[in-house]
Amino acid sequence: MVVESPTKVKTIQKYLDKKFLVKASMGHIRDLPKSTLGVDPNRGFKPKYVVSPSKKKVLDELKKAAENADALYVATDPDREGEAIGWHLAQELAVDKKKVYRITFNEITERAVKAAFLDPGKIDLRKVDAQQARRVLDRLVGYSLSPLLWEKVQRGLSAGRVQSVAVRLIVDREREIQAFQTVEYWSLHANLEGKRPPRFVATLKEVRGEKPALPDEATTRALMASLDGARWVVRSVTRGERRRNPLPPFITSTMQQEAGRKLGFSARKTMTVAQQLYEGIDVGAEGPVGLITYMRTDSVQVSRDAQAEAREWVTDRLGRDYLPDAPPAYRSRGRAQEAHEAIRPSEVGRDPKAVTRFLTRDQLALYRLIWERFLASQMVPALYDTVAADIEARDTVFRAQGSTLRFKGWTAVYEESREDDAIADEEPETAVPPLEEGEVLTLHGLDPKQHFTQPAPRYTEASLIKALEELGIGRPSTYASILGTIINDRGYVHRERRTLFPTELGMTVTDKLLPYFADIMNVEFTAQMEDSLDKIEGGERKWAEVIQEFYGPFSKDLKKAHVEMKSEKAGEETEETCPDCGKLLLARRGRFGKFLACSAYPDCKYTRNLGGAERPQDEPTDEVCPACGKPMVIKHGRFGKFIACSGYPECKTTKPITLGIACAEPGCEGQLVERRSKRGRTFFGCSAYPACKFVVSQRPVAEPCPKCGASFLTERAARGRQTRTCVRAGCDFKEEAETTVA
């Protein structure tokens, strides 16, 4: 039986008797070659697969194990990628097709694993075709556009079929914000009191039967003056009931969004921690146990067994009133894989308290989120008593509205988070006393408030994932890699306290590609391509036909771009001369923005950052100084960013900004921080320096080593490849993946 991860091996092996040997493929064992295109457009886009150099040893071990096996059970992940891995394995191991069986399970529990063997199937070649189509598409785009960008902008850049659209969304939003014209407006609020307490606030809703227009303070003050001495009378009181229905259980995208908003996790970190929970956590006497179901899914379906477990828990702990007569049914979006399940705890009875001592802080936080969300999804709505009162004063109408929680329902175990802009758009509610129609109220003052229209907010990882999902771009398994590529690997986007900003380089690349590759940069076209991949999986389309439809126009656009696209490499002439040699300086673009360079390069290597003279402004944080109580801010120093007291120089408290990754030195309790050397090179060291002098030069990634379990890997992207290696001495884990595919 072959699975993808070695972590699963321990968990699954204990469920099977000794006649089974469980082995791990460590992900893909073969792929397109990294040195050549590996796809032949003249032969139906036939791909050429080669065994990955880092997987030769793994494959040799699998072949040796398969020699004496009676049957091969492919138990890779239950998605397109897992199906393709299984197909490649079967091809390389050369096992008789009649002896190759495909089994899948959505949770790694004894019940699910043993049930999978009761009805084994065969590898689904339509899923394999869909994955192959995506892989070929991404290779054609990545291996064609990246050299174009090297030629026209700078070496080391890449473009991808989906990543380019994601960057465009961020760039377009930034330009909307830059072009936005702020408009002033005012609101007016009345502080009122009735026959019974409490006092309450009502907001102006009508003036002479129309929506009020208060563009400035003068107009607002004039209206206030017209209400001087007015009689305030309750015109109508409307009482009602509002139901807040429970949210469906998590799918991949909603889990990433909620973990981002509530826990501050990046999409990549969310998936890393979820993978750990799915593959198995050692919970003491039971050994390794898979705590959640498969975390790459777009289906909200839930098994009857899980629903029954949830109903039993709710009845025992909260009471029958919290359960609907029948389990709720939720509808998945679009062409979701209904054979899959939503993300849920594998056993509801294993609540977060029961596993706290076995989990890391991040694992516990995400497990609690998944566990609470699933339970809430199986409960009754929350009920609120609502009241809205319209109050007349001369020719104006003010409205007071409020709500009172009558029954908690699902909110007894879970409270959803919302984006800041969604909260800002809501009408504020106030405590409204019992009022009667015709009741005369006492005015205790009018409160005018100034406002300014705001542009759409910049994307966060959570809101970008939501946008990609709503637009039909990408799939659950790709969101984390898309964001990781554009933020961490390419430098097209940078993240500041969860907010995503396009870099100068990201805007330049977008502007270069858009005129020549309208399809690739088009949101609707990218969504249609995702739909075509779904149709390949459904047997409605042939994969080579889909590729041909795309490649014909794309190859023409590519030839045109090579001829017509203006190069950024030469730079634009300026009127300034080089202080070293007197030749003209050129304005050029680099990964970190615009800079000036001497036109006599390489004979003269003078450069100057065009933004270097401006001191970056301090950025606020949610922390307060432990020494003096003043707010802490993020400052930009000679060796990178750090946190310092805003009371400097009176208070000189400082602390490093950590990556949230524990130091690899045994016994050290420090965390890794990003630093810069005197020569400007980035490296990563321990926050406990100088007591601990651990350093690594490559960027750490909060993913445990799948081979030895070390707490993190290091990542390096170069020449269109992403390489991850283990830092632990004696461990030879190394994994390569192409970075242009997203």
Q: Determine the average pLDDT of the residues in 649-665.
A: 81
Q: State residue 677's pLDDT score.
A: 66
Looking at the DSSP assignment, which residues form a beta bridge with residue 718?
Answer: 721
Token pair listed for 295: 């975390």
State how far the Cα of 328 lies from the Cα of 246, in Å rounded to an integer.
Answer: 9
Do 470 and 441 have their domain in common?
Answer: no
β-pairing, 23-24 vs 281-282, is unpaired
For residues 502 and 526, state if they share a domain: yes
Domain of residue 602, residue span:
572-609
Q: What is the pLDDT, as a whole number, of residue 336? A: 54
Report residue 200 CA to chain centroid gap.
41
Residue 614 lies in a domain: no
The answer to whether 24 and 9 have CB atoms below 8 angstroms apart is: yes
Are 641 and 715 within one domain? yes
Find the CATH number of the domain harbouring 559: 1.10.460.10
pLDDT value at residue 717: 65
Check whether residue 275 and residue 358 sit in a common domain. Answer: yes
Confidence of residue 127 (pLDDT cuts 50, 70, 90): very high
Distance of CA 147 to CAs 151, 440, 589, 740, Å?
6, 76, 17, 11
Q: Are residues 355 and 278 in the same domain?
A: yes
pTM metric for this prediction? 0.77
Asked if residue 118 and residue 8 are part of one domain, the reply reads yes
CATH code of residue 412: 2.70.20.10
Nearest to 70 by CA among 95, 91, 87: 95
482 and 412 in a common domain? no
Judge if 392 and 446 occupy the same domain.
Answer: yes
Residue among 115, 192, 79 at smallest CA distance from 476? 79
Indicate the helix (H) or strand (E) that contains 211: none
The domain tally of the chain equals: 6
Structural domain includes residue 282: yes
What is the mean pLDDT of the segment spanning 701-728?
76
**Six token digits for residue 732:** 């030879």
The CA distance from 324 to 597, in Å, is 70
Domain boundary among 400, 430, 452: 452
Those residues whose C-beta lies under 8 Å from the C-beta of residue 510, and which sit 6 or more positions away, are 164, 167, 168, 171, 502, 521
In the predicted structure, residue 227 carries a pLDDT above the cut 80:
yes
pLDDT in tens, 51-70: 988 899 999 999 999 998 99
Write down which residue in 419, 435, 452 finishes a domain: 452
Other CB atoms within 10 Å distance of the CB of residue 735: 20
List beta partners, residue 201: 191
624 and 726 both lie in a single domain = yes
CA 163 – CA 165 distance, rounded (Å): 5
Q: If you write DSSP's letter for every residue of 138-167 in order, what string do you get?
A: HHHHHHHHHHHHHHHT-TT----TTHHHHH
H or E stretch covering 380: none
- Nearest one of 49, 27, 28 to 37, comparing CA atoms: 49
pLDDT class of 669 with cuts at 50, 70, 90: confident
- Residue 458 contacts residue 177 (beta carbons within 8 Å): yes
pLDDT tens digits, residue range 277-301? Answer: 999 999 988 888 999 999 999 899 9
Q: Identify the domain boundary among 355, 377, 399.
A: 377
601-613 burial code (b ≥16 CB/10 A, e <16): eeeeeeeeeeeee
Q: Is 417 a residue whose pLDDT tops 80?
A: no
Active site residues: 294
In three-state secondary structure terms, 204 is strand
Are residues 731 and 627 part of one domain?
yes
For 163, residues 6+ apart whose C-beta sits below 8 A from its C-beta are 482, 485, 486, 490, 492, 742
- Whether the predicted pLDDT of 254 surpasses 70: yes
The reply to whether 43 and 105 lie within a common domain is yes
| Per-residue pLDDT tens over the stretch 327-386 | 999 988 765 555 579 999 999 999 999 999 999 999 999 999 999 999 999 999 999 999
**Is there a domain that residue 473 lies in?**
yes
Residue 557 sits in the same domain as residue 499: yes
The 3-state secondary structure of 276-288 reads HHHHCEECHHHCE
Residue 637 inside a domain? The answer is yes
Tens digits of residue pLDDT in 538-596: 999 999 999 999 999 999 999 999 999 988 777 778 888 999 999 999 888 655 557 88
Give the contacts of 601 (CB within 8 A, at least 6 positions apart). none
Please write the tens of the pLDDT for every residue from 194-218: 999 999 999 999 999 999 999 999 9
